[in-house]
Structure 1
Amino acid sequence: MLDARLKRSIRWLGDRTDPDLRADTTGWWRDAETLALLGPALAALFPEASPTVVVGPESHGSLLGPLVASHVGTGFVAIEKDPGRSADSDAWLEVMTPPDYRDRQLRLGMRKTLLQAGDRVLFVDDWVATGAQVEACRALVGRSGAQWVGAAVVVDGCERPQVRRAVDLRALVHVRDL
């Protein structure tokens, strides 16, 4: 049921002169039933994981992550792009991503105090293309001393099988099925 809703409410943007089409997933957020199903469905990808915290990158991971966290009864930590400190005493963990689908490198970060040794961390996002952000988020989790349990995403479009295996990527749908 969720697969059909996801497929029906995605749009591909671009025209004949564009080298690539871009996915517009905003229809997923507009449909209340789809939105209600996403948190439980993403959590179900890791039934054995028992995460103590869910993380997700800005912006769609920050939307989906709280849905999953609420469903499994944990807290949520947003991974910020180009984070800014409030003060010198505001300690952050930061990493640079490998090139992403737009060939950009992003600086990702989170406050040091939000993850601790002993935490079991589930990553959540809408889409993985190159795997750059999920790979960088895994590095952040490692630096915190917490344990990475896996990556739950709506769409697996990961271009690098080694990244898929390294982060234990599980998805609701594969890009080829959209």
Structure 2
Amino acid sequence: MYDETPTVVLGPVSRGSLLGALTAAALGVGFVEMRKDQGAATDSDRWIRHTTAPDYRDRHVEFGFRHGLIQPTDHVLLVDDWADTGATACAARSLVAQCKAHWIGAACIVDGLANARLRHELPLRALLNLRQL
């Protein structure tokens, strides 16, 4: 899967937005910020949304972005700082599926996933494993 080149990098707020934007700039591809709990009152555009399974704080977070930012022809890579439960990456994969785009996988700095199955299902690549810190 990782031999594919992304056309869009998806970065969740807040640190993922910074890392994702830097990754997209380095690759020369588009960037989409995945926002948390974006209320309809702040934006009249149609949004693609997905609520996560419990995250590392046992919260259910709604992520989303404006409709049309990711096209069916796009190949999408999620970039974030840390993977703990995998809830954010799974939400991102669902959002990409709603756009009928192609999910490449997820990349992060620290892999703290307790569920090894998710590491392969997403797929997830990291610079460091939590055990290395």
Look up the match of 2:118. 163
Look up the match of 1:142. 97
Deviations 1:55-114 (A, max 9, x none): 010111101001100111001000000013312xx1111011000011001011111110
The structure with the larger Rg is 1
- The alignment status of 1:118 with 2:73, answered yes or no, reads yes
Greater RCO, 1 or 2 (C-alpha within 8 Å, sep 6+): 2
Q: Cα offset for 1:156?
A: 0.3
Aligned pair count reads 130
**TM-score of the superposition, structure 1-length normalised?**
0.71
Distance in 1 of aligned mates of 2:112 and 2:60: 19
Long gaps (5+) in structure 2: none
RMSD of aligned alpha carbons = 0.9
Letter in 1 for 2:73: G
Look up the match of 1:72. 27
**TM-score of the superposition, structure 2-length normalised?**
0.94
1:1-178 correspondence runs (5 A) = 46=2, 48-85=3-40, 86-87=43-44, 90-178=45-133
Structure number having the greater helix percentage = 1
Distance in 2 of aligned mates of 1:159 and 1:136: 17
